[in-house]
Amino acid sequence: MGRLQGKVAIITGAAGGIGLAATKRFVAEGARVLMVDLREEDLLRAAAGVDAACVGTCAADVSSVEDSRRYIARAVERFGGLDIMLCNAGIEGQVANIVDCPVETFDKVMAVNVRGVWLGLKFGIPEIAKRRGGSIVITSSTAGIKGSPSMSPYITSKHAVVGMMRSVALECTELGIRVNSVHPAATETRMMRSLEKGFSPADPEAGRERALAGIPMKRYGTPEEVAGLMLFLASDESAFCTGGVYTVDGGRSAT
């Protein structure tokens, strides 16, 4: 028996990086997973590496009310219910100080990273409650507990979902639903390649060194390491954990 045997999960941002690693780990532990991401072609490519009997896909914009309702309904229709939500979809915006940052960038980052999570919870919680309990895991970041220059929209969004998580965790205790957040430091994903270039456009390797300078273990995490913590929080092993901030950060939050 796997640690998620018989469970149904939704994972947003599932087409790459942490989301895909979590999809593979959840399926390996017995879950059936609806993979959600913005582009159908990315989802199909990602899903090709996972047991087809255990996954479904749904292209959706998580910041859209209609799309959020639709992907929740798709999971219930395909797999018969919902036990776990991993609200993982997120974007980094651009590296710029607040004076130079376009207002449109702030609005887009907040729409995906905050509104997208809020809508997933709004429409997902009633379905999880029908199963008399479950788990919600929200992907934040060490950016959700620390500051950093030139990334104010992203930092703001990742702090915001911590407050959301704590509030909703208290709302959901009587429903038997646990709500927690996971806070990775720099991880080997597409997002970090983008940020490295933003930190140092002429020399992305220097941007990487800047990111590594704040991590005591002097390396990036892997998507699989983050997925391992997500699996723990999604499983019944974390039955007494709710409202918590969980880091997987190589010591970043200790500095």
Positions annotated as catalytic residues are 154
72 and 46 Cβ atoms separated by less than 8 Å: no
Q: How far apart are CA 68 and CA 77, in angstroms?
A: 14
2 burial level (CB within 10 Å; 0-12, 13-18, 19+): middle
Ramachandran quadrant class, 30 (left: phi over 0; alpha: psi -120 to 50; beta: rest)? left
What's the CA gap between 249 and 221, in Å, rounded?
Answer: 7
